[in-house]
Amino acid sequence: MTGRNQTTISEFLLLGLPIKSEHQNLFYALFLAMYVTTVLGNLLILVLICLDPHLHTPMYLFLSNLSFSDLCFSSVTMPKLLQNMQSQDLSIPYAGCLTQMYFFLFFGDLEDFLLVAMAYDRYVAICFPLHYTTIMSPRLCLFLVVLPWVLTTFHAMLHTLLMARLHFCEDNVIPHFFCDLSALLKLSCSDTRVNELVIFFVGGLIIVIPFLLIIMSYARIVSSILKVPSAKGICKAFSTCGSHLTVVCLFYGTIIGLYLCPSANNSIVKETVMSMMYTVVAPMLNPFIYSLRNRDMKGALRRVICRKKIHFSL
């Protein structure tokens, strides 16, 4: 820190995406369409689950929380990105940057834990179908929903408080489209060893343990299916787990590739594109994955539309 100017930083500059000026409007329209699709798709799932009694089951309780998490996760970064692309104002206040970082960690972690709860739900449904309603009691379902909210609150707050204690010097340019934790640490002129240790141990556990639990759940599911092999059983298992497994691969694939298996050859452009995959693309695709491949959701949509038609005809 010696010899470096420790002036107080009041704002940061988000460089955003490395897009040429002549392509700016095209990408703005694309990202706006993706964000609107994310909002409408996840809102549709939330509305259907609330309105249709057939969907008042543990699986759809977790799915409604996941849709809400996806909606908020995308809303943490996309509005600011769209604003910066349109107004060319790249600044974000210091407090606003820490707030964005907090909610980014919060909803990212929340999705992480909710995917574990959904994996456990599928494990019980396939391996213990006769005891499903007994095991997945309302008390357990409430616990599996509340626990992720509590854990993510403390984890996001821990990183935010550790970041708030750091000093920032002259350089306030963040080469990203949001206030990424690692990007902020690189700008700090304080000792960041404590922050890095917490990221390595706590952050690693937040990603690795849920991922291993999901792998274990699906290993038990596959083992259970192979014990009594039948075409009907295999089709039922894939129809039950296919949607969830697709979301898990999309979410964890990009995060593991970006954070747990980083490459020295990773450029800022490559890291930005990978970040877009799990912050923008994954929340947008989740409603399509769960609705287009799910007969219950399609049936709920038909029932809600029919009820609306009957209501208007009266």
Q: Are strands 173-174 and 11-14 parallel, antiparallel or unpaired?
A: parallel
Q: Token pair for residue 169?
A: 């010097």
Assess contact for 220 and 237: CB atoms under 8 A: no
The tokens of 2 are what?
Answer: 């010696």
In this structure, of 21-30, 151-160, 221-230, the range with the lowest mean pLDDT score is 221-230
What HEC string does 86-139 produce?
A: HHCCCEEEHHHHHHHHHHHHHHHHHHHHHHHHHHHHHHHHHHCHHHHHHHCCHH
> Average of pLDDT values for 153-178?
90
Q: What is residue 256's predicted lDDT score, i.e. its pLDDT? A: 72
Q: At what angle do helices 94-127 and 204-227 cross, to 10 degrees?
A: 20
**In this model, does residue 232 exceed pLDDT 70?**
no
Helix (H, G, I), strand (E, B) or coil at 157: helix
Phi and psi based region of residue 16 (left: phi greater than 0; alpha: psi -120 to 50; beta: remaining): left
Instruction: List pLDDT tens digits, range 79-96.
Output: 999 998 888 778 999 999
Task: Please write the tens of the pLDDT for every residue from 11-29.
Answer: 899 988 888 888 888 999 9
Domains of the chain, start order: 20-306 (1.20.1070.10)
Mean pLDDT of 145-152: 95
Lowest mean pLDDT among 24-38, 137-151, 202-216: 202-216
pLDDT of residue 38: 94
Mean pLDDT of 63-75: 94
| Residue 171 pLDDT greater than 90, yes or no | no
* Mean pLDDT of the 282-293 span: 78
Residue 227 burial (10 A CB sphere; 0-12, 13-18, 19+): exposed
| Residue linked to tokens 């009594």 | 228
Q: What is the mean pLDDT of residues 285-307?
A: 76
- Mean pLDDT of all residues in 195-207: 85
**Long-range Cβ contact pairs of 83-92 (< 8 A, separation 24 or more):** 84/14, 84/16, 84/177, 85/16, 85/17, 85/19, 85/24, 85/27, 85/28, 85/31, 86/28, 90/13, 90/14, 90/15, 90/16, 91/11, 91/12, 91/13, 91/14, 92/11, 92/12, 92/13, 92/14, 92/179
Query: Would you place residue 4 in the very low, low, confident or very high pLDDT band (cuts 50, 70, 90)?
Result: very low
